[in-house]
Amino acid sequence: MNFIDLFSGAGGLSEGFIREGFNAIAHVEMDKASCNTLLTRTAYHYLVKIGHKEIYIDYLKNKIGRDELYGLLPDEFKKSVINEPIGAQNNDKIFERIDALKKSKQIDLIVGGPPCQAYSLIGRAADKNGMKDDDRNYLYIQYAEFLKKYKPKAFVFENVLGLLSAKDNNGERYLDKMLKLFREIGYETEYQLLHANDFGVLQKRKRVILIGKKGTEKGFYPKFKKKDISKINVEEIFKGLPKLQAGKGNFFETKYTNDFSEYLKEIKVQNGLDFTTQHIARPHNTQDKEIYRIAINKWNKKGERLNYNDLPDRLKSHKNRSSFTDRFKIVAEELPACHTVVAHIAKDGHYYIHPDIKQNRSITPREAARLQSFPDDYFFEGQSLKPSRTAAFKQIGNAVPPLMAEEIAKEIKKLL
């Protein structure tokens, strides 16, 4: 079954579908760093398929460069990652490239979710017009152009909780406009608010998942079975990773400790290697480290979150004292799920502080990736040949958890 992934990001949604045997014809993504990540993951899947995973492992160990890795890919795989912004000015060019890749193959499925900032509750609260003038509100229309062009049997459209309430200048919900448009072009569409934690992801992540099916049939939305992880806590995501001080770590090979996790093996995060990558911590200044210590002690000793206003005046550098007062937050290892990992983690790590006061730092890209259920051999690239911690964090925060995507893919397979 062949699919196209639109607004692909780092490929979390795609990863889940590939695990279930779907064949990715093309990924379309405007961010260069994300496209590099997609191409690196494409190289992984190709090398595994032809029985040469060891070459990919050499890449993770920095024994070969990225150009050498990509040089092993057949042209069709290199061309399958399309670094273009989706929109009226580029769609024909993107169609032409996809047509050349798919040849006579039928596109069975389209997946993807347009950028969510315009619908997000936080984005709307921060914008004086509530994001109503943001062009990204209408990217679903561009998504529909791909449905019209390729006529897949079904589609999966992912977005944030705010989609349920976001309205245009006339007071009409964008969601209702979407459903109407999709129906007009031949798709009945159903949706639910899904919780990533119900799929085994150790994170309180809520996402609106629309599933469209060609025709007029209704009542087809899958009944997902909730995974029982009641005995699993967030501490699992730290297992096997060596302890780090702020500013320390490595973009490439980092050997595991002996503290292994059955949970991480079961969900395919630890998947056969004895090392991981991108376990590299941000440097922090003295003031932030002091605040981190206060926040960690407050949680570990009293089970209380730090309120910014409770800090000593000498440590308060933000003028805003009425909102985001929980801007310094621990990733509490004894809870069943962490708070949502978002792209803001790329700007600072204050909302994702490691619970170990001896390490006294924010979490690494690898720890964030594990919270999102990405496998430990998933490598997040930067724009250039040099890896970027910031680019990795942004991609991880924007991604769909592969574990959640895999369960959705299982049900879509049945639907098709």
In CATH, what number is assigned to the domain containing residue 140? 3.40.50.150
Mean pLDDT for 186-215 is 96
Inside any domain, residue 339: yes
| Residue 193 shares a structural domain with residue 242 | no
Q: Which structural domain, as residue segments, surrounds residue 263?
A: 234-387
Position 230 scores a pLDDT of 87
Mean pLDDT for 384-393 is 93
Assess whether pLDDT exceeds 90 at residue 128: no
Grouping H, G, I as helix, E, B as strand and the rest as coil, residue 104 is coil
Active site residue 338: no
| Residue 186 shares a structural domain with residue 269 | no
| Residue 40 shares a structural domain with residue 121 | yes
Q: Which of 50-59, 184-193, 300-309, 372-381 has the lowest mean pLDDT?
A: 300-309
Residue with tokens 């990924």: 27
SS3 readout for the chain: CEEEEECCCCCHHHHHHHHCCCEEEEEECCCHHHHHHHHHHHHHHHHHHCCCHHHHHHHHCCCCCHHHHHHCCCHHHHHCEECCCCCCCCHHHHHHHHHHHHCCCCCCEEEECCCCCCCCHHHHHHCCCCCCCCHHHHHHHHHHHHHHHHCCCEEEEEEEHHHHCCECCCCCEHHHHHHHHHHHCCEEEEEEEEEHHHHCCCECCEEEEEEEEEECCCCCCCCCCCCCCCCCCHHHHHCCCCCCCCCCEECCCEECCCCCCHHHHHCCCCCCCCEECCEECCCCCHHHHHHHHHHHHHHHHHCCCCCHHHCCHHHCCCCCCCCCCCCCCECCCCCCCECCCCHHHHCCCCCCECCCCCCCCECCHHHHHHHCCCCCCCCCCCCCCCCCHHHHHHHHHHCCCHHHHHHHHHHHHHHC
Mean pLDDT for 160-165 is 88
Mean pLDDT for 30-47 is 97
Inside any domain, residue 130: yes
Could you tell me where the beta strands, DSSP code E, fall in 98-150?
109-112
**H or E element that contains 39:** helix 32-49
| Residue 145 shares a structural domain with residue 216 | yes
Inside any domain, residue 394: no
Assess whether pLDDT exceeds 60 at residue 136: no
Q: How many domains does the chain have?
A: 2
| Residue 8 shares a structural domain with residue 144 | yes
Position 220 scores a pLDDT of 95
pLDDT band, very low/low/confident/very high, at 331 (cuts 50, 70, 90): very high
| Residue 191 shares a structural domain with residue 263 | no
Residue of 28, 81, 116, 234 with catalytic role: 116
| Residue 285 shares a structural domain with residue 180 | no
Closest CA relative to residue 113, chosen from 139, 81, 80, 152:
139
Position 129 scores a pLDDT of 55
Could you tell me where the beta strands, DSSP code E, fall in 113-245?
154-160, 187-195, 206-214
Inside any domain, residue 74: yes
Mean pLDDT for 221-226 is 94
Mean pLDDT for 287-293 is 94
Assess whether pLDDT exceeds 80 at residue 16: yes
In CATH, what number is assigned to the domain containing residue 258? 3.90.120
User: Residue 237 corresponds to which tokens in the numbers above?
Assistant: 């995501």
Mean pLDDT for 138-160 is 94
Q: Which of 175-184, 259-268, 312-321 has the lowest mean pLDDT?
A: 312-321
Do 132 and 169 contact (CB within 8 A), yes or no?
Answer: yes
Assess whether pLDDT exceeds 80 at residue 391: yes
Inside any domain, residue 392: no
Assess whether pLDDT exceeds 60 at residue 348: yes
Do 112 and 143 contact (CB within 8 A), yes or no?
Answer: yes
Mean pLDDT for 284-312 is 92
Assess whether pLDDT exceeds 70 at residue 141: yes
| Residue 128 shares a structural domain with residue 50 | yes
Rounded mean pLDDT of the chain?
92
Closest CA relative to residue 165, chosen from 225, 208, 106, 128:
208
